[in-house]
Amino acid sequence: MARTRPRSTDIIWLALLGTLGALLVAPAPSYAREPLRDEPVVWYAHDREPIPTPEFEEPGLVPYAVDSFVGRPFSRFWHPGRFFRWVGTGDRAQEAADINSLDEVVNSTWFTNRIGLTPLTPAELVEGPAHGRDLVTGPDRSTQWTIIGAKTAGVTPGFRIKDAKGDVWLLKFDPPSHPGMTIRSGVVTNLLFHAIGFSVPVDRLVQFSREDLVVGAGAMMRLPRVGKVPMTEANLDSILTATGSIFSGEYHALASRYLDGQPLGPFDDQGIREDDPNDTIRHQDRRELRALKVFAAWVNHFDTKMHNSLDMYVGNPGEGHIRHYLIDFASTLGSFGDALVKRFGYEYGFDTFPIMGRTLTFGLFEDTWVALERPEGLDEVGLFDVATFEPDKWKPDLPHSGMADMTARDGYWAAKILSAFTDEDLRLIVNQGHFQNPAAVDFLVETLAARRDKIVRYWFAKVPPLDFFTLTTAGIEFHDLAVERGYAATGNPRYRYRLSAVDKDRDRNDAGWTPWLETTTTVVPLFDETHRLAEDISRGGEDHPFLAADVQVDYGDGWSSSTIIYGAYVTGRLVALDR
């Protein structure tokens, strides 16, 4: 016989259900916004304060993977706030915490605004983190490179070398089954991510002969099932022969310079680093780590686990701070070790629903990635295409806490950055891979451009791409990035705008909004007497010292959602932007 609940419990359940129903029908609250201030916009984070040197820490891959697949997704699934936000806004997470009042990521030890805000010169694009440093050609070549260590375990061998300047570099080779693939992909993606704004090592494609290498005194190499043994010139010859990375009589390798400072281990994609007082924002709340999903999807950087990141303590002990790096981009652009895997980028390493789908349909349902094929005749290119790529369905191999919290505004910000890469920019960067077949360069440039376009169109359709507002003598001018960068559905969009005086909490005065006015130009003409806007904005008074300009766009399918820019009457500066 079923047990009957006490009446008090019934009352509690009814109350909870009533609350749930109210929340489901109630309008979703907007994201928390700082009060408007007539102050310069913040562009730099204060995260370089001196701290004691933290200890090196590298969690095991297996515990991290288990937590990524099980613990963290379950904690997100059972978080009620995520559900209510999703019902109300479509976003499960709160907005990012490392953005300024103009909805831009601030410069920090995590990210530096580059191509997204300022065009990069050809030299900046092709030199990446080596720009302005004597590192563009890789290790110094004035003398032989001295091998100080080697590894033969794993898919590919590698050497640690020291050049004449004393810099230590890691030489990485391709797996013998795919010569020229991973090292070139690694160099290209490294430069792309630097241009985006991430901190990355100096990775250069180098060509050298056997005579350029010498085994240093005391050099050791690690052998499988044996451990460390002294390295000899004969060992070096056998390792080089096994690499297969020989082109026109020279060896090709990716030379990655050891980062300056003291390594502290990888950073997690969730939480904060407890021994870093400068690390005050949860990593899953950092827009650059959330939007990493968009950037990684572009180049199919599926291997975004925490172990492909590195924290470095830079500065003298007790006087330095931590800088956060992304490292190792060899498994990108469709490449991966000696066995290319079609599902990478399309499914998690263990993905319950696709597995159940294939099981329940007895394999009759064909996954999208089954149709993925390598380009014919291009041995240096992996499994990388446009036809099977869907921006909203891309997945890393391990679930990523930052990516799981990405909002529409985070995705738009990333797409805006990608839209700044021109096809010429892409060709300059891809050429740094020194592909032996010119057709491989053409294919990668075309594929990167087409995947970029898919991503940008997807996110520009979700968030109107009205951006970079400035105050001029004509009024408030703005840029329509869809039109300027070739993503608009029509060449003749319409715009409309309205104005209101607001207080610091964005509440309007009694006059409310002015009527909507339409225009075909990207200017809100504040000083156009024919629209009597000068009279309207004079109604602010001391209680409503800010002007709000609400702007929408119509590309032919109806008016978009609003982009609102706020200006201060007293100083005339633009102080905030809401999407």
Domains and CATH numbers, the chain: 466-578 (2.60.40)
558 or 86, greater pLDDT: 558
pLDDT band at 473 (very low <50, low <70, confident <90, very high): confident
**Residue found under tokens 């997470």:** 93
Please, which residues have CB within 8 angstroms of residue 494's CB and are 6 or more apart in sequence?
518, 519, 520, 553, 554
Q: Identify the DSSP state of 529.
A: G
Please, which residues have CB within 8 angstroms of residue 308's CB and are 6 or more apart in sequence?
266, 326, 327, 328
pLDDT band at 10 (very low <50, low <70, confident <90, very high): very low
How many whole angstroms separate alpha carbon 328 and alpha carbon 383? 18
CA torsion sign for 537, 540, 541, 546 is negative
> Strand order in 563-568's β-sheet?
517-519, 494-502, 546-554, 563-568, 574-578
Q: What is the pLDDT of residues 354-373, one digit of tens each?
A: 777 777 876 667 788 888 99
- The pair phi, psi for residue 275, each rounded to 5°, is -95, 15
pLDDT for 537 = 53
Q: Is the pLDDT of residue 93 over 80?
A: no
pLDDT band at 179 (very low <50, low <70, confident <90, very high): confident
pLDDT band at 73 (very low <50, low <70, confident <90, very high): confident
Please, which residues have CB within 8 angstroms of residue 464's CB and are 6 or more apart in sequence?
552, 553, 560, 561, 563, 579
The answer to whether the beta carbons of residues 308 and 328 sit under 8 Å apart is yes
564 strand-pairing partners: 550, 578
Please, which residues have CB within 8 angstroms of residue 261's CB and are 6 or more apart in sequence?
312, 313, 314, 315, 320, 323
The residue among 460, 453, 394, 403 whose CA lies nearest residue 426 is 453
How many whole angstroms separate alpha carbon 344 and alpha carbon 206? 28
How many whole angstroms separate alpha carbon 192 and alpha carbon 180? 19
Q: Is the pLDDT of residue 49 over 60?
A: yes
Mean pLDDT of the region 173-187: 91
Mean pLDDT of the region 524-553: 73
How many whole angstroms separate alpha carbon 266 and alpha carbon 309? 5
pLDDT for 105 = 97
pLDDT for 136 = 94
Q: Chain-wide mean pLDDT for the chain?
A: 88
pLDDT for 11 = 34
**Which range among 39-53, 128-142, 239-253 shows the weakest confidence by mean pLDDT?**
239-253
Give per-residue burial for 140-151: e unless 16+ CB within 10 Å, then b: beeeebbbbbbb
Q: Identify the DSSP state of 67.
A: I
pLDDT band at 18 (very low <50, low <70, confident <90, very high): very low
pLDDT for 528 = 59
Q: Is the pLDDT of residue 26 over 70?
A: no
pLDDT for 157 = 76
CA–CA distances in Å: residue 103 to residues 88, 122, 352, 539:
21, 28, 36, 27
169 or 180, greater pLDDT: 169
Q: Is the pLDDT of residue 17 over 70?
A: no
Q: What is the 3-state secondary structure (H, E, C) of 96-120?
A: CCCECCCCCECECCCECCCCCCCCC
How many whole angstroms separate alpha carbon 481 and alpha carbon 465? 5
Q: Is the pLDDT of residue 491 over 80?
A: no
pLDDT for 48 = 97
How many whole angstroms separate alpha carbon 577 and alpha carbon 566? 6
The answer to whether the beta carbons of residues 392 and 346 sit under 8 Å apart is no
How many whole angstroms separate alpha carbon 114 and alpha carbon 198? 9
Mean pLDDT of the region 418-447: 97
Mean pLDDT of the region 379-387: 95
Q: Is the pLDDT of residue 526 over 60?
A: yes
Pairing between β-strand 250-257 and β-strand 246-247 as defined by DSSP bridges: antiparallel
Mean pLDDT of the region 427-447: 97
As given in the structure block, the two tokens for residue 198 are 């991430």
Q: What is the pLDDT of residues 313-326, one digit of tens each?
A: 999 999 999 999 99
pLDDT for 155 = 62
Q: Is the pLDDT of residue 424 over 60?
A: yes
8 or 377, greater pLDDT: 377
Q: Is the pLDDT of residue 24 over 60?
A: no
How many whole angstroms separate alpha carbon 229 and alpha carbon 215? 13
> Whole-model pTM?
0.91
How many whole angstroms separate alpha carbon 431 and alpha carbon 423? 12
CA torsion sign for 72, 74, 77, 80 is negative
pLDDT for 529 = 54
pLDDT for 306 = 94
Q: Is the pLDDT of residue 178 over 90?
A: no
CB neighbour class for 371 (10 Å; exposed up to 12, middle 13-18, buried from 19): exposed
**Residue found under tokens 């043994």:** 229
Residue type, 322: I
pLDDT for 241 = 83
pLDDT band at 541 (very low <50, low <70, confident <90, very high): low
Q: What is the pLDDT of residues 239-285, one digit of tens each?
A: 888 887 889 889 999 999 999 999 999 999 999 999 999 999 999 99
429 or 540, greater pLDDT: 429
Top-ranked range on mean pLDDT: pick from 19-23, 437-441, 530-534: 437-441
pLDDT band at 224 (very low <50, low <70, confident <90, very high): confident
